[in-house]
Chain A
Amino acid sequence: DQQVKQNSPSLSVQEGRISILNCDYTNSMFDYFLWYKKYPAEGPTFLISISSIKDKNEDGRFTVFLNKSAKHLSLHIVPSQPGDSAVYFCAALGSSNTGKLIFGQGTTLQVKP
């Protein structure tokens, strides 16, 4: 069963515009949600996280929104830059706190100059 889903395999936006990446989850017991970014031939790198008790967290150009009633979170990148082109993974951490991150399938973002 896929507890964390990213239904859009790819997204293409123009430089300077907003990028919105979406993620849905099924388990209401998740405590934290994280976004990781992955460039080709590199490992994922941590981008931003949000606690389940919050609905928004902002870090520079990156903002994550959490809608618990809809079991949905989104990552907004404003303004988008060509260097943001990468695969973005949504991940969730369960309340059992074993450290077991559950990742979505990833969304490939392409920012066109």
Chain B
Amino acid sequence: EAGVAQSPRYKIIEKRQSVAFWCNPISGHATLYWYQQILGQGPKLLIQFQNNGVVDDSQLPKDRFSAERLKGVDSTLKIQPAKLEDSAVYLCASSLVREGAGEKLFFGSGTQLSVL
């Protein structure tokens, strides 16, 4: 079974530029998540989709971050304009359903973003 695919693996941009990340979840997984992991910290949820609807985007900086999940499959996360503090690993994850028995998320390898 193919895992969660993310691209690109690495991205270096200058502040105020824009950047986009792409995620393809595991086939059949209804729930998709974007997490931000800053160096030395644990992953922090940015946005959660159930099919193509947003379940939780309370921690998404909506003035600069946007995300969409068209047709309930692939998703893109965009930052415009980027700030220095956006330097982090952006992780995409998916799960089959929102399980009550513990949220077993499957993560992609992430996109490491450096904002200079």
Interface residues of A (CB under 8 A from B): 4, 6, 9, 32, 34, 36, 41-46, 49-51, 89, 91, 93, 97-101, 103-106
Q: Do A98 and B48 touch across chains, with their CB atoms under 8 A apart?
A: yes
In the complex with contacts A34-B103, A43-B4, A99-B98 CB distance below 8 A: yes
Q: How many residues of B contact A (CB 8 A)?
A: 27
Say whether A99 contacts B43, CB under 8 Å: no
- A residues less than 8 Å from B31 (CB atoms): 99
Interface membership of B110, Cβ < 8 A: yes
> How distant is the Cα of A99 from the Cα of B103 in the complex, in angstroms?
7
What distance in Å separates the Cβ of A59 from its nearest Cβ neighbour in chain B?
Answer: 12
| Chain B contact residues: helix, strand, loop or mixed | loop
User: Is there contact, CB below 8 Å, between B56 and A44?
Assistant: no
Residue pair A99, B107 in contact (C-beta under 8 Å): no
* 27 pairs, CB–CB < 8 Å, chain A vs chain B: A6-B42, A32-B101, A32-B102, A34-B102, A34-B103, A42-B109, A43-B4, A43-B107, A43-B109, A43-B110, A44-B43, A45-B107, A46-B106, A49-B101, A93-B102, A93-B103, A98-B55, A98-B56, A99-B33, A99-B48, A99-B55, A99-B56, A100-B45, A101-B43, A101-B103, A103-B44, A105-B42
Nearest chain-B residue to A106 (Cβ)? B42
Closest 7 CB pairs of A and B: A43-B107, A103-B42, A49-B102, A32-B102, A99-B98, A46-B104, A103-B43
A98 to B106, CA, bound (A): 17
Q: Is the CB of B101 within 8 A of A44?
A: no
B95 at the interface (CB under 8 A from A): yes
> Are A43 and B93 neighbours in the complex by a CB distance under 8 Å?
yes
